[in-house]
Amino acid sequence: MFSIVIKNIKGRKGRSFAMIFLAGLLSAFVFAGTVTVQSLQNGFSSLENRLGADVMVVPYEATTKTNLENIVLQGSTGYFYMDSSYLDELSQIEGVGEITAQYYLASVKASCCSIPVEIIGFDPDTDFVITPWIKKSSGAEIGYLDVVVGNDLNAFVGDTLSFFGVEVNVVAKLEKTGTSYDTQVFTNEETIKTLIDESLNKQLNEYADINSGNIVSCILIDAADGYSVDEIVNEINVHYKKLSAIRTQNMISGISDSLSGVSGIMQVLIGAIWILGICILIVAYIMITGERKKEFAVLRAMGASGKKMFGLVFFEGMLLSLIGSVFGVIFGFVLMISFEGAIENSLSLPFLLPSWGIMIVIALAAIALTLISGALSSGICAKRISSMDTGNILRSGE
Amino acid sequence: MKGKMLNLVAFVAGVLLAAGVLTVFKACDMKDDGTWMNCHYAQMYVCYLAVAAAAVSLVGAFITNKIIKILANVITAVLAAIAFFIPGVIVHMCMMETMRCYTMLQPFTRILSCVIIIISVISLVFTLMKKDEAQNDR
């Protein structure tokens, strides 16, 4: 039976190619769509983990003058400062568990291919937000004039970067996070203060009258166990008029809404395309078997049983679906891996491709789904063929 | 016939590569000061190589001399291989991998270069096999 199926496929190359193409298209869409939905969900959970703190405290002007969310969530460049004495004051508030400060600075365009990048300084002794990510990617210690770069920056361990004329050494590169971390540079408190001083010396800092010794950009707070985050936020907002405390969960609610919107649309599309794909495959098989009625009738007249006829059509359909689905998954995979950045840019949402293991599971599921579609459509036609009246077909000369 | 078809497909892929890197899949835009980033030159080199590969594969499609046909396939594959390595390896690109040169130019160049290389190699194999058959007949 296998040789007859192979001969059938080889004999009608155009028809076989069309069926393989249809199956390939179906599996490519199911694979790429599922990977996209999964990547968006990964990106969002990565963003949740990356925020790492319950409360973010920034100068009040930062929430009005600059688009804070763009700096924190989208990786846009920008900076703002407040007095570092707030760090001690806020640490006294009841319910504050961990507390740390961060320093922001945006570099300026330097060489031919550089664009401004956001440099974030943190205190390694108190930090509980960035350090876990750095430890996850590399165990490197950040010394004076050392930096850690995000995964999307074209700089590698051992490279030297220049910010405001100060040369810094890249000691680690973060793993891909699918968030704004990927385009940022991280360094310790001492180094960022040197860079801020240099930016002031070169008159490249918007804040001309600051002293790097007594400023911070934002304060991150984790609530102690048993204490309400909202109470801490209210306490700060009520008593510190020059500050603005933001619950980080609220910052990402907009992204969460967009994510559920895009994921929902993708899931509906995958479902619709799958149903449409099955319908198209059924119609295609019905048309093809209609054309081949005489061929099947001759086979029946030669002694092929109805069961054998069913097997022939069903096996041919399954084989074409298998070939098509494998090619489709390979095509979808190449597309997703190659254009990951373009997809991320166009969606403007955190986007992190799933691990290889998950990708293989999705690929197998897409192949299985296409095979089910192929089995359904060829099965329906095979049933019709196996029960047709051979005599009538041969007599009618169709 | 198969070899001719493959050469024509390689020609189309070459034209697509050249047209693509100049339009939809082009590198980063001109800077505010009117100068170009490195990736623009990568784009232009890829374009020149793609045009050359397309021209050579077109010659390969219509030439009957086997040695020239073999040479045409080898040259097309080598040109595509060089094009593959231009963005990011031979020519350094921009600082962030979120920029167009990384998200559009590089993947498009690499996919189409691979397609041209694969087609040229298959065409080369067909051409070589044809030669062997001819020798066996003698």
Contact between chains at A338 and B110 (C-beta distance less than 8 A):
yes
Beta bridge partners of A173: A149
Specify whether A275 is located in the same domain as A225.
Answer: no
Last residue of a domain, one of A225, A251, A277: A251
Q: Are B57 and B5 in contact (CB under 8 A)?
A: no
- Write phi, then psi, for B57 (nearest 5 degrees): -70, -30
Identify which of B96, B107, B111 has the shortest CB distance to residue A152: B96
Specify whether A97 is located in the same domain as A238.
Answer: yes
Specify whether A167 is located in the same domain as A217.
Answer: yes
- Write phi, then psi, for A174 (nearest 5 degrees): -70, 150
Characterize the bridge pairing of strands A218-223 and A243-247.
unpaired
Q: What is the mean pLDDT of chain A?
A: 85
Q: Among A113, A118, A162, A352, pick the best mutation site for testing chain B contact (most B Cβ within 10 A).
A: A113
d(CA A397, CA A378): 24
Which residue range forms the structural domain that includes residue A262? Answer: 2-46+256-396
Last residue of a domain, one of A204, A236, A251: A251
Helix axis angle for B38-62 and B66-85, nearest 10°, is 160
What is the average pLDDT across A296-312? 80
Q: Are B72 and B3 in contact (CB under 8 A)?
A: no
What residue ranges do the domains of chain B occupy? Answer: 2-137
What is the average pLDDT across B43-59? 96
Nearest to A221 by CA among A121, A122, A127: A127
d(CA A281, CA A370): 10
Please write the tens of the pLDDT for every residue from A151-163. 888 888 898 888 8
Specify whether A96 is located in the same domain as A229.
Answer: yes
Residue percentage of chain A with pLDDT more than 90: 33
Contact between chains at A115 and B99 (C-beta distance less than 8 A):
yes
B-chain residues within 8 Å CB-CB of A114?
Answer: 94-95
Distance from CA of A341 to the nearest CA of B (A): 5
Give the pLDDT confidence score for residue A66 in this predicted structure.
Answer: 60
Last residue of a domain, one of A198, A223, A251: A251
B-chain residues within 8 Å CB-CB of A154?
Answer: 92-97
* Triad A30, A152, A62: Cα angle to 5°: 105
Number of structural domains chain A divides into: 2
Please write the tens of the pLDDT for every residue from A76-120. 677 889 999 999 999 999 999 999 999 999 887 655 456 778 899
